[in-house]
């Protein structure tokens, strides 16, 4: 049997057990943003420890940070061969609004060959695939063709606030030739892609405070500032009606797309009607003069992620609310600097604060945008492994999301980052009814297993 | 003993019991806006029945409507004498945000001679005073100097949607010479006032819907409309930075203040610094060219009462929310028509709806503004009763709040409405820590008891 047919047979034989194990992993509500889930984070980390050991990884440890821990494991017996550092995360997004989930977010359910659960795709499902790729090779061949290190963190969904420090402090332990991450998407069903760019992230919370308490709108209405109006005034000022961001200097350092990049993006199939149908909207919306891929991959954004204040019950309550708050976040592109952007946001908010209220701005953790050369051998190797399994050319794309730590890997460890993901844009990451197409689970396992052999040959 | 000293002694003797009974009344969470309190509404109505009977009222009944019932009772044995119809309400506002209450909203607590509880002032406390004024006269003299009818409803805080029909159907039963309502405020501590005008009310809920679900802001941000931005765009368009309402035609039918009215308002003491200190704001805010009293009594308003959408938990969630909603309400002045205003609001909202979302507008119940001649003998009689107890001149003012049914009384029953209230603007109606100054409870009981004798002499 060839190497390929050997691990292919292994994945086939163990599919049921693998899916059952993934279901167990997905059952743990490891929501890093909510402090009430602190214990679940530990449970998820312990689950990984067991899974690492089962796969044959060694030196497995739960490494404490100032936040949720990093789970580490390695196999380093391929002397003279390259070392791959696999990064992923075991934390997941919150699940509200819970009532919109068709099946409970932490009880994984298969419908129509898709696995529905929070984290099914982002990123527990894809982390799981890396572990199982190692397991398949170890059980089939008793060894791996290259050395491998796993570093799975628990704070990606809250901006990886402690990972940079961890990497700085563990440079030697994490030393590797390439970093591989599966936390991104493909171009479409059956269409694999390697990502060479990601957007960064910067966000703030805006808390508006008016009078000492809620007021009767009859008694005070007309003479006292309403915190909700003051907030709406700020939020309404961020973008014009066409979506162009009005924060002074926001676009100053945005790197323009090259003609080659625009051409490459234009070559990727895009069906506007299909996107509209999928999202159930009448119209898309965004900066004029840019295509959909340009808007979502290479242009920065500013989104209100939540805003709350005043009465939310049934019916009417004629109150003049004194408190309101909003969370906003920006997706940033090369060469925007998150710190500079936050300063500009603060200046904009101050400029648009109406009299009669005070506004407090709290910064969230930030992430730099990332861009890499896609002619590196490790990236080309990834495209070959994809093509072997999917039997179609691999696209080289950029991503609209942020993996804040990618830029830090790039800068601290100074090795190439290979972003080879198996998700699809339609899989409701960060939203109710997140799911993962099981054909990409199956094909992805084979791509990852094959990639170890490709790397052995390429580096 | 004079009549005055007789009932004065009665109130003194029974003060403890009266406060205990009021505490029992305030314990019932009769929140008309929230359907889970339906049973509490019945409990409050039954409480009134017992209290009416205890005071000596007759023909006591709970009159069904399509909503919460009206509680009726009368005493009609003063042959040839005028008849007073007392109107009030036993429903109260919701209590959220509950965490801002210093003591539980339905456990009345006295601090610093103020009674803290939801409804202490608006309007259970003042309804209670009317009942106890009757009780005092009945127990002291065995009869009343005039005939009296009580009509206490349970839907004032939700716009009295069923009371007009009730009045239309019970014109004969409710026939009277004047209507007396205590649901308004005084000019300040120790400074009584009779109100001759009230603002009306119109409000809508705005529900914005974007994509089929919340989206990942990295994947879709920049190309898909965000429901919160679309809502903020609408809300931010309602008023300019100085508070002038931008809805086309909004001010068309606003009756300008006469020079006499402006002079009368200007004569009422106003201490801006005191209001700012009380509310803990750095600056007041409102339409240029109008004083505080003009802004709050004679100018219309548009307030966002609540707005909600997206993530509200701790930290950051980089979601592109697909749903957002807001409730807005307008205080209206003569001669604005609530139906016309709602039409104008709808047109404004449609005009400011961004592409990529749909907006649904739901109307709330409306109330017309009210204005009355203040030279009527029943109004003058009220001012004399106030002056007898408070020993200071009574002001004639307008009110910023809405008692939507007042305009209907005026039109259907065609008798003068006397608005003699005992609240103070600082008492946090509709807000956490609502309270009632007990000196106005004590003095108010005497004013109301005296008023029966004044009416006997005046009409």
Q: What is the CATH number of the domain that holds B75?
A: 3.40.630.10
In this complex, do B221 and A303 lie within 8 Å of one another by their Cβ atoms? yes
Q: Which of A319, A334, A363 is the last residue of a domain?
A: A363
Residue B285: closest CA among B320, B247, B241: B241
Q: Which residues of B touch A224 (CB under 8 A)?
A: 279, 281, 284-286
Check CB contact under 8 Å for A279 and B211: yes
Q: CB of A369 within 8 A of CB of A198?
A: yes
Task: Give the residues of chain B that fall short of pLDDT 50.
Answer: none
User: Which residues does A458 contact at the CB level (< 8 Å), separation at least 6?
Assistant: A377, A378, A380, A381
3-state secondary structure of A40: helix
Cross-chain Cβ contact A218/B401 below 8 Å: yes
Does A27 share its domain with A83? yes
Residues composing chain A: 459
Among A315, A331, A354, beta carbon nearest to B218: A331
A340 and A324 together in one domain = yes
| B223 neighbourhood in chain A, CB within 8 Å | 284-286, 292, 295-296
User: Is A277 inside any structural domain?
Assistant: no
3-state secondary structure of A5: helix
Question: Residue A142 in contact with residue A78, Cβ under 8 Å?
Answer: no
CA angle A21, A22, A26 (to 5 degrees): 120
Provide block-wise average pLDDT over 10 residues at a time, chain A (459 residues): 91 98 98 96 98 98 97 98 97 94 97 97 97 98 98 94 94 95 91 91 96 91 96 96 95 92 87 94 94 96 97 89 97 96 98 96 90 84 96 90 81 90 92 97 98 94
The shortest C-alpha distance from B459 to chain A (Å) reads 32
A229–B303: do the CB atoms touch at under 8 Å?
Answer: yes
User: Chain B contacts of A355, Cβ < 8 Å?
Assistant: 282-283, 285
Contact A327 B320 (CB under 8 A): no
**What is the reported pLDDT for B1?**
59
Contact A327, A305 (CB under 8 A): yes
Q: Which helix (H) or strand (E) holds B437?
A: strand B435-437
- Decide if B400 and A221 are in contact by the 8 Å CB cutoff: yes
Angle subtended by helix axes A3-13 and A438-458, to nearest 10: 150
Nearest to A299 among B222, B318, B321 (CB): B222
Q: Kindly state whether residues A451 and A381 are assigned to the same domain.
A: yes
User: Would you call B312 and A317 a contact, using CB atoms and an 8 Å cutoff?
Assistant: no
* Spatial separation of the C-alpha atoms in residues A200 and A342, rounded to whole Å: 12
Q: How far apart are CA A370 and CA A409, in angstroms?
A: 10
Q: Do B10 and B156 belong to one domain?
A: yes
Q: What is the extent of the structural domain holding B283? A: 268-294
User: SS3 of B363, please?
Assistant: strand
Contact A217, A318 (CB under 8 A): yes
The token pair at B408 is: 């209907």
Largest Cα–Cα distance in chain B? Answer: 84
A307/B308 touch (CB, cutoff 8 Å), yes or no: yes
**What is the least distance, in Å, from the CA of A315 to any CA of chain B?**
6
CA angle B333, A222, B267 (to 5 degrees): 80
Q: Do you find a cis peptide bond into B97, omega within 30 degrees of 0?
A: yes
Containing A150, the helix (H) or strand (E) segment is: strand A147-153
- Whole-angstrom distance, CA of residue A30 vs CA of residue A33: 9
Q: Are residues A133 and A158 in the same domain?
A: yes
Flag whether B168 is in a domain: yes
Exposure on the CB side of residue A50, measured as CA atoms within 13 A = 10
Domain assignment present for A264: no
Residue A405: the pLDDT is 79
Nearest residue of chain B to residue A37 (CA atoms):
B314
A236 with B236: Cβ contact below 8 A: yes
Q: Which positions ≥6 away from A223 have C-beta within 8 Å? A: B284, B285, B286, B292, B295, B296
Q: Is B352 found in the same domain as B449?
A: no
CB-side neighbour CA atoms (13 Å) of B266: 8
Residue A245 makes CB contacts below 8 A (sequence gap 6+) with A238, A239, A251, A300, A301, A302
d(CA A326, CA A336) in angstroms, rounded, equals: 23
CATH number for A329: 3.30.70.360
Which of B34, B310, B312 has the CB atom closest to A314's CB atom? Answer: B34
Q: In what order do the strands lie in the sheet with A301-310?
A: A358-363, A200-209, A323-332, A301-310, B301-310, B323-332, B200-209, B358-363
The nearest CA of chain B is from the CA of A292 a distance in Å of 6
| Closest A-chain CA to B214 | A431
User: Phi and psi of B323, rounded to 5°?
Assistant: -135, 145
Cβ B304–A239 below 8 Å, yes or no? no
Of B363, B384, B417, which residue is a domain's last? B363
Residue B261 placed within a domain: no
Contact B236, B307 (CB under 8 A): no
Domain presence at residue B260: no
Contact across the interface for A304 and B314, Cβ inside 8 Å:
no
pLDDT of residue A184: 86
B contacts of A308 (beta carbons < 8 Å): 307-310, 312
Round to whole Å and give the CA distance between B273 and B41: 40
| Of B176, B218, B326, B248, residue with least CA distance to A311 | B326
For an interface test with A, the pick among B214, B318, B398, B403 (most A C-beta atoms closer than 10 Å) comes out as B318
User: Is B175 a domain residue?
Assistant: yes
Helices and strands (H, E) in chain B, number of each type: 14, 18
The rounded distance, in Å, linking the Cα atoms of B421 and A347 is 47
**Three-state DSSP class for residue A336:** coil
pLDDT at B34: 94
Q: Are residues B84 and B233 in the same domain?
A: no
**CB crowding A165-195: b at 16 or more within 10 Å, else e:** ebbeeeeebbebbbbbbbbbbbbbeebbbbb
Q: Assess contact for B186 and B427: CB atoms under 8 A.
A: no
CA–CA separation, B359 vs B350, rounded Å? 8
SS3 state of residue A320: strand
ipTM of the complex: 0.73
B207 lies in some domain: yes
End-to-end Cα separation, chain B, in angstroms: 25
**Which of B307, B309, B321 to substitute to test the interface with A, most A CBs within 10 Å?**
B307
Check CB contact under 8 Å for A222 and B243: yes
Domain closes at, from B344, B363, B382:
B363
Comparing CB atoms, the residue among B213, B218, B433 nearest residue A432 is B213
Q: Sort out which chain B residues have CB atoms less than 8 A from A222's CB and list them.
A: 243, 286-287, 295-296, 299-301, 331, 400
Mark whether A64 and A177 lie in a shared domain.
Answer: yes
Asked if B337 and B421 sit in the same domain, the reply is: no
- Rounded CA separation A49/A62 (Å): 8
The two beta strands, A193-198 and A395-399, are parallel
Rounded distance between C-alpha atoms, residue B199 and residue B404, angstroms: 8
Q: Which of B225, B149, B145 lies closest to B180, judged by CA?
A: B149
Distance linking the first and last C-alpha atoms of chain A: 25
CB-based contact A200:A404 (threshold 8 Å): yes
Q: Report CB contact under 8 Å: A33, B365.
A: no
- Number of structural domains found in chain B: 3
CB-based contacts of A69, cutoff 8 Å, min separation 6 = A41, A42, A45, A62, A63, A154
Q: Token match 């934390």: residue?
A: A91
Is A412 found in the same domain as A317?
A: no
Interface test with A, best of B304, B363, B397 (most A CBs within 10 A): B304
Best mutation target, B221, B240, B243, B421, to test chain A (most A CBs within 10 A): B221
On whether residue A392 sits in a domain, the answer given is yes
Question: What does the alpha-carbon distance between residue B94 and residue B306 come to, in Å, rounded to a whole number?
Answer: 13
Report how many Cβ contacts below 8 Å link chain A to chain B.
361
A129/A444 Cα distance (integer angstroms): 7
A-chain CB neighbours of B199 within 8 Å are 218
Mutate to test the interface with B, among A197, A304, A428 (most CBs of B within 10 A): A304
CA distance A283 to chain B (A): 5
**Rounded Cα–Cα distance for residues B339 and B421 (Å):** 29
Mean pLDDT of chain A: 94
Chain A residue with CA closest to B316: the answer is: A158
Report the chain B residue with the minimal C-alpha distance to residue A400.
Answer: B218
Q: Give the whole-angstrom CA distance, residue A221 versus residue A239.
A: 28
A63 CB contacts (<8 Å, ≥6 apart)?
A: A69, A70, A71, A72, A166, A170
> Residue A1's pLDDT is what?
59
Q: Give the best residue of B217, B225, B239 to mutate against chain A (max A CB count within 10 A).
A: B217
The reply to whether A141 and A191 lie within a common domain is: yes
User: Smallest CA–CA separation between A59 and chain B, in Å?
Assistant: 33
pLDDT at A269: 87
Distances (CA, A) of B190 to A20, A192, B133, B198, B425: 75, 79, 20, 22, 13
Specify whether B166 is located in the same domain as B277: no
B330 CB-side CA count, 13 A: 33
How far apart are the CA of B413 and the nearest CA of chain A, in angstroms?
A: 25
Separation in Å, CA A295 to CA A236, A262, A373, A376, B209: 20, 11, 21, 26, 22
Determine contact, residues B118/B95, Cβ cutoff 8 Å. Answer: yes
Interchain contact, A306 vs B284, CB within 8 Å: no
């Amino acid at each position: 049997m060839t190497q390929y047919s050997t691990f292919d047979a292994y994945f086939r034989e163990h599919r049921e057990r693998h899916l059952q194990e993934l279901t167990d992993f997905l059952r743990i509500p490891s929501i890093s943003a909510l402090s009430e889930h602190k214990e679940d984070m530990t449970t998820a980390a312990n689950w990984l420890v067991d899974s690492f050991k089962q796969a044959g990884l060694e030196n497995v440890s739960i490494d404490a940070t100032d936040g949720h821990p990093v789970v580490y494991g390695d196999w380093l017996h391929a002397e003279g061969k390259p070392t791959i550092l696999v990064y992923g995360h075991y934390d997941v997004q919150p699940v509200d609004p819970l009532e919109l989930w068709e099946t409970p977010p932490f009880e994984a359910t298969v419908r129509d060959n898709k696995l529905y659960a929070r984290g099914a795709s982002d990123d527990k499902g894809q982390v799981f695939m890396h572990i199982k790729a190692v397991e398949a090779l170890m059980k089939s061949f008793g060894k791996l063709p290259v050395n491998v290190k796993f570093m799975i963190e628990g704070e990606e969904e809250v901006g990886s606030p402690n990972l940079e420090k961890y990497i700085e402090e563990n440079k030697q332990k994490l030393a590797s030739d390439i970093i591989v991450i599966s936390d991104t998407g493909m171009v479409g069903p059956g269409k694999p892609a390697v990502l060479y760019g990601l957007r960064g992230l910067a966000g703030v919370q805006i808390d508006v405070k008016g009078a000492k308490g809620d007021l009767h709108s009859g008694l005070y209405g007309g003479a006292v500032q309403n915190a909700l109006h003051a907030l709406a005034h700020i939020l309404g000022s961020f973008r014009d009606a066409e979506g162009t961001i009005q924060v002074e200097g926001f676009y100053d350092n945005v790197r323009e797309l090259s003609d080659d990049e625009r051409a490459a993006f234009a070559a990727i199939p895009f069906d506007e009607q299909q996107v509209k149908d999928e999202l159930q909207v009448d119209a898309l919306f965004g900066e004029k003069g840019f295509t959909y891929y340009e808007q979502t991959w290479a242009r920065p954004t500013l989104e209100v992620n939540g805003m709350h204040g005043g009465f939310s019950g049934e019916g009417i309550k004629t109150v003049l609310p004194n408190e309101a708050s909003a969370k906003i976040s920006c997706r940033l592109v090369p060469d925007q600097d998150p710190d500079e952007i936050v300063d500009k946001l603060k200046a904009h908010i101050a400029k648009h604060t109406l009299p009669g209220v005070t506004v407090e701005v709290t910064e969230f953790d930030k992430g730099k945008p990332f861009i890499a050369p896609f002619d590196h051998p490790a990236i080309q190797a990834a495209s070959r492994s994809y093509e072997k399994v999917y039997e179609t050319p691999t696209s080289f794309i950029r991503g609209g999301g942020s993996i804040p730590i990618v830029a830090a890997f790039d800068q601290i460890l100074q090795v190439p980052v290979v972003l080879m993901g198996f998700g699809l844009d339609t899989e409701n990451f960060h939203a109710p009814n997140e799911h993962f197409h099981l054909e990409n689970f199956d094909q992805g396992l084979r791509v990852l297993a094959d990639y170890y052999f490709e790397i052995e040959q390429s580096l």
